Structure 1
């Protein structure tokens, strides 16, 4: 490596991440996030090579459904489901037949993962019972799709219950860098979330952990967040981009610039070379169709199809057609077990 290459972050990344599979450190990620627009194509190409080298061409497709919507006691400033803000979302529960129907529709798209989500600080006995009954009903319907859950902060007993139910993966996002978290949430701590993730990992479930870009964090804090996720080592990292929700403290925040968003996606791939990186909420607003394709060619290897929790997504058929055009096979269910 020449002297010039030794000081160029992408040349370093090519040797460190692409060849050795070692993610970039926080200071290196800051450099990546500050690359000029004229180097964006080069960055995305490298991120795609890293994805192909360490993860392969398959894309995991997932659908999500909210079993309990709205009325959450927490004050996550980005979330329209918080009962503390005057957002238009109201509390509602999904019944078991509705859950079974949603799982059936998700499996019909070719998805291999179905995530049951609830807007709560953490699950109570009623919610745990409903999840148990729902999973049982999904299996009795003949659906063998992998089931993930996102139910907030857990106790060890609840972690053990979910394992016993056969939950494949648990989602609990750290949301943002530890240094920025108090500006986003005040009713619980970043450390509480980290502890839940530790218990999930030790119990043998896959860890799904990511966050939201565009909540007032600095470039340095985006790098900090990516490095903290790398320390956690999630199996999956969902990348959301803020959708400013009416009635929330972040309702007037600007949507993340498309090029900055693509730079961030690629940087996260270079921090997490072997993780599944999933396009999640906000991609339609932030990228549009062309940008979504660029992201899929810039390190992303998983996608949520259909609608999100309180926001509309693209029809699943459009995303599946896009994957076909990109010649990216959908990950087979047998490969995820």
Structure 2
């Protein structure tokens, strides 16, 4: 039985995710089968998630100066990168949330470049959440590094509905990407987030030098964690970082990854995030939305430019996919 037939029976009809060996087969489908596996992924998404596309905006409350050495990240204070350390005030965060909501987006994520939040940062985030909730009707999530159980509870009590903490890559490849903390530390934070009742958002980056086998391993590990949302980033090589000279992910490889992650997690929100503009372009973004993706981060990212959010909204209208409402 071909992997397309296996996926159609197991994932589309039964809603059961593919196992690691089957995910690997998806990642290796020849060009002539790519359209077929992408169609099964899209039909799976429609059946188990519906047609709506969730649109999210993100903003950094603290940019740059991070003490960790994530090799893809220009916000690390350990690399000679052009990113400057910057903090935003509450009024700027509220304004950004209002602009995001006006485009039709329903989610807004507050991000900080830190190993983990201190009390001062948590206080500021709490003020920001309260101010945003007073000004605009939008769901608020946070991404502030590793958390203790107590910090997770504090964020939950402040009104954060979801917490993002990416594993970034497979457990076996992680030491090639980060050396200042472990994969297990990240997993612990996800456990704390789930334990206090916040939604878990966890994904990673495709194209950091991992093998196709490790890419399958990563998708299977995410499926085991079972996050409500998985951001899919494609490496955008940043000047001054150890990964500055890595090649972009080719279009076909990116679309295979989208299909594989969808078929590994048929009921999960799968969100296009950073790097899609470079690796996939406009054509690939549309194909991804018709090949398993059901959410996007629109507008700019933390240190890189994305597409104008209005262009993404227009694109969704053109391919007849509705924006998810609150």
TM-score between both structures, scaled by the size of structure 1: 0.96
Measure the CA separation in 1 of the matches of 2:134 and 2:278.
Answer: 38
Match runs of 1:213-228 below 5 Å: 213-228=206-221
Aligned residue-pair number:
326
| Pairing 1:235–2:228 present | yes
Match runs of 1:314-325 below 5 Å: 314-325=307-318
**Match for residue 252 of structure 1?**
245
The secondary structure found in structure 1 opposite 2:280 is helix
Which of residues 208, 215, 221 is equivalent to 2:201? 208
Match runs of 1:189-208 below 5 Å: 189-208=182-201
In the TM superposition, what is the alpha-carbon distance from 1:9 to its structure 2 partner?
Answer: 1.3
- Structure 2: gaps (5+ residues): none
- Structure 1: gaps (5+ residues): none
**Match for residue 282 of structure 1?**
275
Question: Following TM superposition, where does structure 1 have runs of at least 4 consecutive aligned residues deviating by more than 6 angstroms?
Answer: none
| Pairing 1:332–2:325 present | yes
**Match for residue 127 of structure 2?**
133
Measure the CA separation in 1 of the matches of 2:297 and 2:55.
Answer: 6
Measure the CA separation in 2 of the matches of 1:198 and 1:274.
Answer: 20
| Pairing 1:24–2:15 present | no
Which of residues 260, 263, 268 is equivalent to 2:261? 268
CA contact (8 A) 2:149 2:196 kept: no
The secondary structure found in structure 2 opposite 1:237 is strand
| Pairing 1:147–2:135 present | no
Measure the CA separation in 2 of the matches of 1:50 and 1:139.
Answer: 34
Which of residues 92, 96, 121 is equivalent to 2:90? 96
TM-score between both structures, scaled by the size of structure 2: 0.99
Which of residues 151, 158, 172 is equivalent to 1:158? 151
**Match for residue 48 of structure 1?**
42
Which of residues 142, 145, 163 is equivalent to 1:170? 163
The secondary structure found in structure 2 opposite 1:285 is helix
